[in-house]
Amino acid sequence: MSDTPDLGPVPQRITIETDVVRHLVANQFPEWADLPVEPVANGGWDNWTFHLGSGRSVRMPSAAEYALAVDKEHRWLPELAPQLPLPIPVPLAMGRPDAGYPFSWSIYPWLDGSQSNPEDIADPIRFAIDLAEFLVALQRVDPTDGPGPGLHNWYRGGTLRTYQPEVDRSLTALDGHLDVALAREIWKNALDAPWNGKPTWFHGDVARGNLLLDGGQLAAVIDFGTCGVGDPACDLAIAWTLLTTEGSQEFRERLSVDDATWARGRGWALWKTLATYSWCYDDPDDEDAVTAKRILDGLFAEYATSRR
């Protein structure tokens, strides 16, 4: 019997109407009852996000599995924030289930900024260095009693083998649309790369939507729902999914990443991008498909260079 965790079925998300959020806020936090509530455009997948006035946001988990992160965020983000060089969201209040909404939920301060699209980053190398320094600081935080890999973060910080079934499904779907043999080689290389380090804090979803820009500079890191303590290689996927070649080199150097950890990071990027590409590859004009194909081409080329 395998000891690899079972991710289970895809979470069943629920839709949350603005009127429900208004009701919950008014009933449980009357001091904010007069503030307008409006949905946030592109507010995320794990949580439905709403503006609460101009200075706060409401995060409502969209499924039971995502709600597992609420207690963790309230417990740990206030401890992490003072030890990090960039702002992160620190919860202001936790709401309880009510009005037909079944999960705990949170009110946060609103952090200004725009997501880190490549064309909006003023200096890609400076961006990579700033991000690396943030992750260095995060990894230095005392991990004692921190949450290990589990369903609360979809086993980030654990073994990549958890994602083997999803990688197999993706490669089956993509056969004929990319070099499946090379992808399998890269995946095996990542699986075989040993981790012998001490568990550290990691973010778990370092992606462009969670890295906020102000004036083209990295200004804040948000959405710690997948954070935890374990193997920090999962935070390296951004080297392939967003950073430039030169930025990636600086990023790796600042984090002092060895070959095995880099290989596991490449595996995290491969899993994530294959999963995306497998459901949109048949529409060559789809923006996600174009981006995923570009990332995979770059990842394949970087791997080939590393093997010389």
The C-alpha angle with vertex 45 and arms to 298 and 281, in degrees rounded to 5, equals: 40
Query: SS3 for 292-307, per residue?
Result: HHHHHHHHHHHHHHHC
- The candidate with the shortest Cα–Cα distance to 50, out of 68, 34, 35, is 35
- Assigned superfamily of 18-110: Phosphorylase Kinase; domain 1 (3.30.200.20)
* Number of H-type helices and E-type strands within the chain: 10, 10
- Rg from Cα positions in the chain: 20
In CATH terms, are 18-110 and 115-306 the same topology?
Answer: no
Give bridge partners of residue 52 from the DSSP assignment. Answer: 37, 56
Residue 44's pLDDT is 85
User: Using one digit for the tens of pLDDT, what is the confidence trace for 106-138?
Assistant: 999 999 999 999 999 999 999 999 999 999 999
Residue 7's pLDDT is 77
Positions of the chain with pLDDT under 70: 1-4, 6, 8
User: Using one digit for the tens of pLDDT, what is the confidence trace for 239-261?
Assistant: 999 999 999 999 999 999 999 99
- The candidate with the shortest Cα–Cα distance to 130, out of 207, 202, 217, is 217
Residue 2's pLDDT is 43
* Domain 115-306: which CATH number of 3.40.50.1010, 3.10.20.30, 3.90.1200.10, 3.90.1580.10: 3.90.1200.10
Specify the DSSP element, H or E, that contains 107. strand 105-109
181 Cβ contact list (under 8 Å, min separation 6)? none
Residue 1's pLDDT is 34
Domain ranges of the chain: 18-110, 115-306
Residue 31 to residue 199: CA distance in whole angstroms = 41
Residue 197 to residue 175: CA distance in whole angstroms = 36
Residue 284's pLDDT is 86
- The candidate with the shortest Cα–Cα distance to 62, out of 23, 20, 101, is 101
